[in-house]
Amino acid sequence: MRALLVGCGGISRAWLRSVMQMPDVEIVALVDIRPEAAQSLAQEFGLEAVPTGTDLERMLEQTAPEAVFNCTVPEAHAAVALTALRHGCHVLSEKPLAHSLEDATRMVAAAEAAGRILAVIQNRRYDARIRRLRHFVASGALGPITTVNCDFFIGAHFGGFRDHMEHVLLLDMAIHTFDQARFLTSADPVSVYCHEWNPAGSWYDRDASAVAIFEMSGGIVFTYRGSWCAEGLNTTWEGDWRIICERGTVSWDGADGFKAQAVAATGTFLSQLQEVAVPACDPGDRIGGHAGNIREFVRCVREGGIPETVASDNVKSLAMVFAAIESAREGKRVQVRI
Ligand SMILES: NC(=O)c1ccc[n+]([C@@H]2O[C@H](COP(=O)([O-])OP(=O)(O)OC[C@H]3O[C@@H](n4cnc5c(N)ncnc54)[C@H](O)[C@@H]3O)[C@@H](O)[C@H]2O)c1
């Protein structure tokens, strides 16, 4: 698959490290509005023979790729994807799909009209451990899910654009966690109440912490407590999860720590509980973070099929983010528009 990569900043390196291991993908051009960014990326990855440029439209005409890898900043995602689709390319974009729900809707419609795949990197799904957790809850070992909690607490000193960004936690990070919640529950979001704030002593300009309560389809409640400005006792980047089902509970620390208890006997004040193993499962090749996500996209482009993170589905995770932002702004519960 011949691919053009646009946006040669920090995350593009994770993409190229993955793509370099894929013999069926060829990078045919590198584009960035900062010419030096594209040139230094080319040098770093031994791609000196690959053309670099600042004008996406011209580079698309010149190199006619089948796919565009969109690693630009969120504000540029829509314009880049719409241009690429107009040129008949399939697009795999960094999260978040778009900077607004209106843009996301336009992008999904454009992909449909062009008959091309538009998909999003949600690398935290492409993890053998979350697939193991999902497989376990879906097996029904503990009965149907009723409640999902996730804690995300990291003291991240990024520097750069995030320090000044509005809704930085919700827009730049919680998209992962909200998407994980949809993945784990197979449920759709219905409504949300969210409180967003900047804790005293924060090194961000604004919005580094948030607490949100989502109602999901099937009556499931998903609660999120998150901060990028929490020093000490950090969670993993994958989050610290508790999933309560009708007949037991499972927890996952986002790393290798799984615990589960199921009701063995009930009828007393506290039920008798027994430890249950969370069995390993074959996660297939949808693992390895970016590599797994990119691999699936390439396979769908080459052989047909719909990637798990196709934009028409991923827009539901994005809708959770924008509904949480709206709720925080208005100080009331809002419906998630999907
Ligand atoms: N999936 C993940 O785990 C993960 C991790 C980090 C970042 N990201 C996402 O990746 C994207 C980029 O983040 P980053 O940290 O690499 O940012 P960055 O600022 O390091 O890089 C972005 C690059 O895009 C270029 N750019 C901006 N607008 C452009 C345009 N219109 N056309 C061409 N190039 C343009 C910039 O010049 C810059 O070189 C963001 O959407 C971010 O949320 C995802």
DSSP string covering 268-318, please? SSS-EEEE--------TT--STHHHHHHHHHHHHHH----TTBHHHHHHHH
Domain that holds residue 183: 124-285+318-335
The mean pLDDT value for 241-249 works out to: 98
Task: With a cut of 90, say whether residue 57 has pLDDT above it.
Answer: yes
Q: What percent of the chain has pLDDT over 70?
A: 100
Q: What percent of the chain has pLDDT over 90?
A: 97
Clarify whether residues 128 and 115 are in a common domain: no
- 292 within a domain of the structure (yes/no): no
Q: Give the total number of structural domains in the chain.
A: 2
Most informative mutation of 4, 69, 73 for ligand 1 (most atoms within 8 A of CB): 73
Clarify whether residues 105 and 158 are in a common domain: no
DSSP 110-132: HHHHHT--EEE--GGGS-HHHHH
Most informative mutation of 11, 100, 166, 175 for ligand 1 (most atoms within 8 A of CB): 11
The whole-number pLDDT of residue 284 equals: 83
Rounded to whole angstroms, what are the CA distances from 308 to 73, 220, 254, 292, 324?
22, 22, 21, 11, 23
Task: With a cut of 90, say whether residue 307 has pLDDT above it.
Answer: yes
Reported as a single tens digit per residue, the pLDDT across 116-172 is 999 999 999 999 999 999 999 999 999 999 999 999 999 999 998 899 999 999 999
Clarify whether residues 180 and 259 are in a common domain: yes
Ligand 1 centre distance from Cα of residue 145 (Å): 36
Ligand 1 centre distance from Cα of residue 333 (Å): 32
pTM of the model: 0.96
Burial 240-272 (b: 16+ CB within 10 A, else e): bbebbbeebbbbbbbeeebebbbbeeeeeeeee
Ligand 1 centre distance from Cα of residue 307 (Å): 22
Ligand 1 centre distance from Cα of residue 191 (Å): 30
With a Cβ cut-off of 6 Å, ligand 1 is lined by 6-11, 31-34, 37, 71-74, 76, 80, 94-95, 121, 123, 172
Preceding peptide of 96 cis, ω within 30°:
yes
Clarify whether residues 110 and 131 are in a common domain: no
Rounded to whole angstroms, what are the CA distances from 80 to 4, 50, 156, 294?
12, 20, 29, 18
The whole-number pLDDT of residue 302 equals: 96
Clarify whether residues 6 and 68 are in a common domain: yes
Q: What is the DSSP pairing of strand 248-252 with strand 2-6?
A: unpaired
Q: Which of 94, 120, 146 is the last residue of a domain?
A: 120
- 298 within a domain of the structure (yes/no): no
Whole-angstrom Cα distance, residue 173 to residue 167? Answer: 10
